[in-house]
């Protein structure tokens, strides 16, 4: 029989294709109709005998009790565009000075890296891998078509489509799975085991209460759960879960099943201030696991779009700076530095320029960025007010016996924003970059350049540098006097 006769006819081939397509459709329907029972990762209760954190979330998690007392207490908060934040970190790394006779950089003295929403991706990466962020973060995340890959995974991957048919598995779980490759499977326990003194603070929003939920040992002590086992990808996915576009991330609440954490001095106040009462109220919502056995978390930017508000609330709640840093040795703290990186962009369309009825997408865009802009303005004003009050308090506290603050102690609160760039063309370009997990390579370069420029142009950064140089000069002068002082002879 000739080989050609063995081939199917055109009619048979067409029939075969029709049946194959029908079989695929039926298979997909069966898979979806079957409703998967897949359950994603869930947090576990605290193991018996585990140490209880020494304070509740009212404490400011900038200083780790395991570390030597720092001369500089510094924190960086990241929000929004990761590329802008990366440029800021690059310039902070390039800002060199001497501290206690050793060369260092502003970035190397940062004890806390805080991230909210898209900024949590960069914060988590830097906390996990340190200076690798400058050589690998672009390759691992910024220049990867992460968003399109996630959409293809959710819509076209049979395995993911089947998982998404489970009532326990959502779109943000698919995001967390992809982020796990970026973070190389790291957990918070891996961070704690590192020799670095950097601490990571990732903030999400509790969907039920609208309160911030922070991935810290103190917060997890309230729900009697183990933070060490939590993947970084889970925390970052929760902080980045924009409502409706992505799904909430779920934690199990075991509150009430473990010893409560020791109360801080602020919580023992006879007449706590408003900030202290609000923090106590939030903490109290997790104490009854029977009433709230599960917690659903969404984008942290809904409650704290700069990642700085909770730090300010704690500073106020403590009642005084001395109470906040009372555990440090006398005269040890010379500088308190908070750097807020604000990459909030403009709305895509200026609806005020037209008399046409705004479209649904324009309304959503304006609600997100209009409301966010108002909250940003409120938080920025709050930063200024709190800084002024704490600076006056610091002037009085640093002269008291036993104070943790040195005689030259200062507070520097620095806000770096895309809106403050002097270069009008660069400012206009970066403020129009869309908010997305993936942007164009040229936009990445522009945002990184904008981050470096924002640090160089900041007047508050320049004041901090001059203060650090003066401190280094005084330290060197004191060392010279000590060396030149005559030694007594027996």
Q: Output the pLDDT for position 361.
A: 76
- State what percent of residues in the chain have pLDDT above 90: 41
Our CA angle for 338, 341, 347, nearest 5°, is: 145
Burial pattern 350-382, b for ≥16 Cβ within 10 A else e, equals ebeeeeeeeeeebeebbeebeebbebbeebbeb
CB 424: neighbour CB atoms within 10 A? 8
CB 475 within 8 A of CB 101: yes
User: CB-based contacts of 76: which residues, under 8 Å, 6+ apart?
Assistant: 88, 89, 92, 107, 110, 112, 113, 114, 339, 341
CB 406 within 8 A of CB 99: no
- pLDDT of 199 higher than 60: yes
Query: Measuring CA to CA, how many Å separate 410 from each of 131, 191, 401?
Result: 28, 30, 17
- Containing 445, the helix (H) or strand (E) segment is helix 441-457
User: pLDDT-based confidence at 358, cuts 50/70/90?
Assistant: confident
- pLDDT of 207 higher than 50: yes
With tokens 């324009």, the residue in question is 362
* pTM score of the predicted model: 0.85
- Containing 239, the helix (H) or strand (E) segment is helix 232-239
- pLDDT of 258 higher than 50: yes
User: pLDDT-based confidence at 421, cuts 50/70/90?
Assistant: very high
Q: Output the pLDDT for position 317.
A: 81
Say how many residues make up the chain: 490
Which of 57-66, 447-456, 463-472 has the highest average model confidence (pLDDT)?
447-456
Distance between the two ends of the chain, CA-based, in angstroms?
Answer: 117
Which DSSP string do the residues of 375-408 spell out, in sequence order? Answer: HHHHHHHHHHHHHHHHHHHHHHHTTSTT-SEEEE
CB 293 within 8 A of CB 261: no
Q: Output the pLDDT for position 349.
A: 65
Q: Output the pLDDT for position 27.
A: 53
Positive/negative CA dihedral, 250, 251, 255, 261: negative
More confident residue, 442 or 364: 442
- pLDDT of 58 higher than 50: no
Average pLDDT over residues 441-461: 94
Cα(144)–Cα(6) distance, integer angstroms: 47
Which of the 8 DSSP states describes residue 338? E
Q: Which two tokens stand for residue 446?
A: 């522009």
User: Among 268, 258, 215, 387, which residue's Cα sits nearest to residue 316?
Assistant: 387
Our CA angle for 260, 264, 269, nearest 5°, is: 115
Average pLDDT over residues 10-35: 53
Cα(158)–Cα(150) distance, integer angstroms: 13
More confident residue, 344 or 206: 206
Which of 29-33, 126-130, 215-219, 366-370 has the highest average model confidence (pLDDT)?
126-130
Q: Read off φ and ψ for residue 303, nearest 5 degrees.
A: -110, -25
Q: Which two tokens stand for residue 227?
A: 């933070």
Q: Output the pLDDT for position 473.
A: 53
CB 214 within 8 A of CB 77: no
Cα(195)–Cα(191) distance, integer angstroms: 9
Q: What is the pLDDT of residues 69-123, one digit of tens each?
A: 678 888 999 988 899 999 999 999 999 998 888 899 999 999 899 999 989 999 9
Average pLDDT over residues 42-46: 93
């Amino acid at each position: 029989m000739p080989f050609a006769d063995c081939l199917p006819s055109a009619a048979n081939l067409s029939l075969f294709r029709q049946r194959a397509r029908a079989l695929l459709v039926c298979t997909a329907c069966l898979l979806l109709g079957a409703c998967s029972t897949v359950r994603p990762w869930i947090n576990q209760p605290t193991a018996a005998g585990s140490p209880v954190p020494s304070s509740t979330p009212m404490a400011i998690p900038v200083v780790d009790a395991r570390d030597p007392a720092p001369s500089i207490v510094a924190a960086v908060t990241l929000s929004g565009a990761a590329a802008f934040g990366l440029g800021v970190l690059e310039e902070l790394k390039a800002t060199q000075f001497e501290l206690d006779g050793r060369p260092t950089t502003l970035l190397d003295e940062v004890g806390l890296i805080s991230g909210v929403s898209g900024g949590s991706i960069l914060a988590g990466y830097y906390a996990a891998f340190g200076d690798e962020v400058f050589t690998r973060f672009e390759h691992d995340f910024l220049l990867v078509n992460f968003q399109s890959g996630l959409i293809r995974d959710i819509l076209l991957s049979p395995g993911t489509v089947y998982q998404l048919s489970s009532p326990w598995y959502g779109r943000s779980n698919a995001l967390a799975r992809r982020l796990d490759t970026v973070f190389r499977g790291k957990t918070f326990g891996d961070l704690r085991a590192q020799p670095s003194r950097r601490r990571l603070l990732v903030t999400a929003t509790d969907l039920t209460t609208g309160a911030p939920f922070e991935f810290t040992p103190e917060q997890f002590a309230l729900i009697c759960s183990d933070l060490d086992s939590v993947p970084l990808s889970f925390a970052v996915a929760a902080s980045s879960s924009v409502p409706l576009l992505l799904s909430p991330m779920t934690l199990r609440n075991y509150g009430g099943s473990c010893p409560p954490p020791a109360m801080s001095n602020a919580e023992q106040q006879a007449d706590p201030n408003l900030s202290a009462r609000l923090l106590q109220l939030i903490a109290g919502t997790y104490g009854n696991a029977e009433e709230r056995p599960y917690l659903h978390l969404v984008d942290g930017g809904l409650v704290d779009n700069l990642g700085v508000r909770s730090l300010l609330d704690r500073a106020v709640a403590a009642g005084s700076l001395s109470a906040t840093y009372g555990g440090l040795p006398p005269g040890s703290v010379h500088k308190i530095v908070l750097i807020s990186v604000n990459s909030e962009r403009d709305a895509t369309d200026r609806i005020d320029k037209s008399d046409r009825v705004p479209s649904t997408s324009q309304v959503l865009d304006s609600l997100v960025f209009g409301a966010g802009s108002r909250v940003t303005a409120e938080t920025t004003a709050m930063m200024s007010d709190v800084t002024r009050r704490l600076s006056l308090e610091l002037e009085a506290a640093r002269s008291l016996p036993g104070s943790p603050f040195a005689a030259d102690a200062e507070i520097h609160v620095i806000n770096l924003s895309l809106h403050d760039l002097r270069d009008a063309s660069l400012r206009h370009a970066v403020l129009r970059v869309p908010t997305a997990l993936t942007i164009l390579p040229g936009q990445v370069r522009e945002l990184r350049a904008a981050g470096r420029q924002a640090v160089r142009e900041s007047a508050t950064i320049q004041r901090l540098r001059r203060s650090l140089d003066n401190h280094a000069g005084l330290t060197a002068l004191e060392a010279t006097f000590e060396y030149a002082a005559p030694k007594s002879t027996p």
